[in-house]
Structure 1
Amino acid sequence: MNNISIKCLKSEKIQSGVCYGQFVLNSLKPGQGITIGNQLRRVLLGDLGGVAISAVRIAGITHEFSTIPGVREDILEILLNLKGIVLKNKTKNTQYGRLKVQGPCVITADLIQLPADLEIVNQNHYIATISTSNIVEIEFKFEYGTGYRLANQVFSDEDENYLQLDTIFMPVQKVDFKIENVYDSANNISERLLLDIWTNGSISPNEAIEHAAQIIIDLFLLLLNNKNTTEKNQLDLKNPSLSIEPYTNIAIEELQLSVRAYNCLKKAQINTVGDLLQYSPEKLQELKNFGRKSADEVFSTLKNKLGIILK
């Protein structure tokens, strides 16, 4: 049994509040690195949620192609700047905030009045500049979600005066991983997985990997607890009319054949062991560039790996 362990090698804050962390998972069996790395990467990038500004209402403005008197930026530039504000949340409820300032001044994210459950990570983030004594008043809508949502999503009637934003909820910006082979004194091979995570600062890389692992655990627990599905599958397996050989759907990549034999089979549209068993030994040798040596290799591999003997 594996003694799998995870260790944080590096954790630091870089520009604009972005957090970076590097982790290593040790003592993995050969092949487990790519499985765990892919699963964690997909969940980190796609399933973790966050809070972002989804819409704004600006006093005196009815559409995004307007301008505010005395403000250097037009509405589109302001909306783009607002998308860069990073928020920490303690609740998943929709909330509202507001900003009211009189110029001349530079408007930054720290001037936004927030509810108690929200916090701005990058408080010095630039929004706009007022060059006159005009007053700028903005109301913000904060929503929790996952992934990315386009601004063309239909709003309710109460939101008709709001300008919508393309909303990025994802707290994890980037994930990389690589796998290294490790040899012990007896020349046994194990793998270690190096995982690099960048977040927007609303959560730390440590928190991100903990949340991702919990999501994966919860997913598989649902599968284990789904007794009705399990019982149905057991009944289906007992039905002789539905019996399926266990090896028919195995991809031929799992046989680890030589390049020559593998390429010949793929060119003949033989993608699984089930496809391969449709061919007799004589028909196999009739494949283009598939000689006696390749046939012997296939027969031997089927026998040694799967216990299949072709007559």
Structure 2
Amino acid sequence: MNNISIKCLKSEQIESGACHGQFVINSLQPGQGITIGNQLRRVLLGDLGGVAISAVRIAGITHEFSTIPGIREDVLEILLNLKGVVLKSQTKNVQFGRLKIQGPSVITADLIQLPSGLEIVNPNHYIATISTSNILEIEFKFEYGTGYRLASQTFSEEDENYLQLDTIFMPVQKVDFKIENVYDTANNISERLFLDIWTNGSLSPTEALESAAQIIIDLFVLLLNNKNTNESPQADSKNQSISIEPYTNIAIEELQLSVRAYNCLKKAQINTVGDLLQYSPEKLQELKNFGRKSADEVFSTLKNKLGIILK
């Protein structure tokens, strides 16, 4: 245990500013690999925070089903494109940005005027195209958070003029790990843990791993320093029941399924990943017009995008 070490095997930047890193943790005792791997994976996917566009205000537009004269995309398409803008921030405060462009022009993320301390990771990300001499003016609201937040979960009088977005704060997109047994000359067994981390580029895999490790350390320090309080067990159980997996509120639109599979799920009132997880593979294939090919697509997408394997 005293010889435990961690090493970065690979660190690379992939398309659109996203990053991938591979790490190995050596000299673990048998059984520790699965414990550490599971804990790190859950924290990396669920507890790390990030900044994202949470709402926009478009000049002359009152609802998301509008069209803008001279703009190739409708408002819904623009909102969907804005969800792909990846941001890096030095503060957790709510901030605002603007975009004002006169066409004809192709609008990309780098044209957004940002406040100090905020940076766009993928500046070439496409937003919209102005095909005439019209002016497009948008005000952006940037917020810090963790996990995934539906637009329906944010209502306030201050935001009544804004169009809300389903907001993805998670900087870590995917985490995989595997464990290998290592035998020494005396035939003693130890384990080594291989950890692969993919991020959206707002922080590096190394930074993500360090932050996750610190969160776990802080948690156990609190447990060690915890003293008896007057809080009742009922209150504790209530707080525990509120916590949910970070992916349950993710809309199925985020899975980017084929039109056939998507339509079948929507007709069955399956609107989120949480709804989808209520179905077994057998029950899923009983849906009308939902065949084996569509089922395989859903299983593969859940595994590759979210690391979820349906039993």
TM-score, length basis structure 2: 0.73
Counterpart CA distance in 2 for 1:102 and 1:155 is: 32
Q: Percent identity?
A: 87
Cross-structure match for 1:42: 42
Aligned to 1:168: 168
Kindly state the Cα deviation for residue 158 of structure 1 after the two structures are TM-superposed.
1.3
What is the match of residue 110 of structure 1? 110
What aligned pairs does 1:101-250 form with structure 2 within 5 A after superposition? 101-228=101-228
Q: Which amino acid aligns with 1:15?
A: E
Q: What is the letter of the counterpart of residue 33 of structure 2?
A: G
Tell me which residue corresponds to 2:57: 57
SS at match of 1:20: strand
SS of structure 1 residue aligned to 2:153: coil
Q: 1:97 deviation in Å?
A: 0.3
Q: Which residue of 2 aligns with 1:5?
A: 5
What is residue 300 of structure 1 aligned with on the other side?
Answer: none
Shift of 1:3: 1.4
In 1, the alpha carbon distance for the partners of 2:62 and 2:174 equals 36
**In 2, distance between residues paired with 1:93 and 1:173?**
23
- Give distance in 2, aligned partners of 1:121 and 1:74: 25
Q: Which letter maps to 1:228? A: N
1:155 Cα deviation from its structure 2 partner: 2.1
Shift of 1:227: 2.5
Counterpart code for 1:85: V
For 1:152, give the aligned amino acid. Answer: S
Q: Secondary structure at the match of 2:62?
A: coil
Shift of 1:209: 0.1
Partner amino acid for 1:35? T
Separation (CA, whole Å) in 1 of partners of 2:16 and 2:119 = 15
Q: Where do 5+ consecutive residues of structure 1 fail to align?
A: 230-311
In 1, the alpha carbon distance for the partners of 2:39 and 2:2 equals 19
The code of the aligned residue for 2:129 comes to T
* 2:83 corresponds to 1:83: yes
Other-structure match for 1:92: 92
What is the CA deviation profile of residues 283-311 of structure 1, one whole-angstrom value per residue up to 9, with x for unaligned ones?
xxxxxxxxxxxxxxxxxxxxxxxxxxxxx
Structure 2 residue identity aligned to 1:37: G
Alpha-carbon offset, residue 153 of structure 1: 1.3
- Are the counterparts in 2 of residues 2 and 28 from structure 1 also a CA contact under 8 Å? no
**Partner secondary structure for residue 214 of structure 2:** helix
Distance 2:208 2:77 in 1: 31
| C-alpha contact (below 8 Å) 1:49/1:170 kept by paired residues | yes
Q: When the two structures are aligned, how many residues end up with a matched partner?
A: 230
**Structure 1 residue 140 displacement after superposition:** 0.2
Superposition deviation, residue 117 in structure 1: 1.2
CA contact (8 A) 1:88 1:202 kept: yes
Q: Secondary structure, in 3 states, of the residue corresponding to 1:228?
A: coil
- TM-score (structure 1 length as normaliser): 0.73
Q: Describe the superposition over 1:183-204 as per-residue Cα deviations: whole angstroms up to 9, x where unpaired.
A: 0011100000000000000000
1-structure distance, mates of 2:158, 2:36: 44
Corresponding residue for residue 14 of structure 1: 14
* Secondary structure of 2:228 counterpart: helix
Distance 2:37 2:156 in 1: 40
CA distance, structure 2, for counterparts of residue 18 and residue 117 of structure 1: 20
Deviation at 1:154, TM superposition (A): 3.3
Q: Secondary structure at the match of 1:116?
A: coil
Deviation at 1:156, TM superposition (A): 1.4
C-alpha RMSD of the superposition: 1.1
1:23 lines up with 2:23 in the alignment: yes
For structure 2, the 5+ residue unaligned runs are 230-311
Could you tell which deviates more after superposition, 82-91 or 155-164?
155-164
Q: Quick one: which amino acid aligns to residue 150 of structure 2? A: L
Q: Is the 8 A contact 1:108 1:125 kept in 2?
A: yes
| Distance apart, 1:9 and its partner CA | 0.2
Q: Distance in 2 between matches of 1:151 and 1:214?
A: 30
The residue aligned with 2:70 is: 70
Rounded Cα–Cα distance in structure 2 between residues aligned with 1:19 and 1:100: 31
Q: Give the whole-Å Cα distance in 2 for the aligned partners of 1:46 and 1:2.
A: 30
